[in-house]
Amino acid sequence: MTMRILAALSLVILLGMAACSGGDASDEAESTGTPPVSTATSAQQGQDARTPADWVYWLSDIDMNAIGLARPAIAVIDYSQDGAADTEFTAQQISSLRARMTGDALVISYMSIGEAEDYRYYWQDAWNSGRSARPGWLDAENPNWAGNYKVRYWEPDWQAQIFGSPDSYLDKIIAAGFDGVYLDIIDAYDYFAERGRASAEDEMVRFVSAISEYAKAKRPGFMIFPQNAPELGARADYMSVVDGIGMDGMYFGWDEPNKATNAADTEWLEEQLARFVDAGKTVLAVDYASKDGDVAEAYRRARSQGYRSTVTHVDLDRLPAPGP
């Protein structure tokens, strides 16, 4: 993945404040199987529960109780604690989490559709032994992100891994009761377009459309949030099948954490995202900054554009910095 994507493992599973449910931390541990988190732990993670971020993006080492203390309106998490089938979150856990979140909260599951990940339940050990053992849809390993491999996403066999059967990725997410999916590596179409595949963009749009149609038929109201590739919002066929977009590196972190994004890049991103805002779609802005002034600036600028904002660590392994 690029620095702008960096969503590789677990995303957030928000579990709530015991006070909101009338129980205590021990009640929460019993109902979710997740040990209670201490106030000291949350403080160490830099979160002031009185000033929550607009949303939480947490992929690695998920602490459900800490997320619950933050009480965001939206949480993007992984469908599994570590990508394996035996650590999948249950429908009971997701329902409990949602009930303890703010208002009409959404629990959204991360799902990469432009790269395969070797820690996922679908990965077969034989694929590591050499190209002769690999499926035809599996392409080169991402040199910037070990264990992540580009996929020929237009291939029916890859799409069957993503949706269409009880064991497919999307179907597992729907069965667990998530409110939607956060689709990563949409910009894989650029990778293949640069290598001469003229149909790459159309094939990605058709893939996202098929995911959206399938999911919404199985679960009315299910939400589709692609991450990055905001230029696709210029296409009516794409805009009509998504409910929002995630965009990272808007103001800080496009090239590297704690580095201001080039002004020209930010201007271009805002122009692309304006289409989503004007269409009434939700924009989830992600920035990677830790200095107080940069954090405050990122929240201020994102909110001024009508986005929901989070400012977090690039490893996506903790709560975001609190918003002003």
User: Domains in the chain, ordered, with CATH?
Assistant: 18-312 (3.20.20.70)
**Cα–Cα distance, 28 to 212 (Å, whole number):** 33
Average pLDDT over residues 99-104: 81
**Residues 182 and 112 sit within 8 Å (Cβ to Cβ):** no
Q: Evaluate if residue 323 carries a pLDDT over 90.
A: no
**Is the CB of residue 289 less than 8 Å from the CB of residue 295?**
yes
Confidence label for 26 from pLDDT (cuts 50, 70 and 90): very low
pLDDT one-digit tens code per residue, 240-253 = 999 999 999 999 99
Per-residue pLDDT at 83: 75
- Rounded Cα–Cα distance for residues 119 and 106 (Å): 26
| Confidence class for position 45, pLDDT limits 50, 70, 90 | very low
Mean pLDDT, the chain, rounded, equals 85
60 or 23: whose pLDDT is higher?
Answer: 60
Beta carbons of 11 and 110 less than 8 angstroms apart: yes
Tens-place pLDDT, residues 114-146:
999 999 999 998 998 777 789 999 999 999 899
Share of the chain above pLDDT 70, in %: 84
| Residue 180 pLDDT class (50, 70, 90 cuts) | very high
Mean pLDDT across 149-175: 97
171 and 159 Cβ atoms separated by less than 8 Å = no
Q: In whole angstroms, what is the distance from residue 111 CA to residue 183 CA? A: 5
Per-residue confidence (pLDDT) for residue 18, from 0 to 100: 31
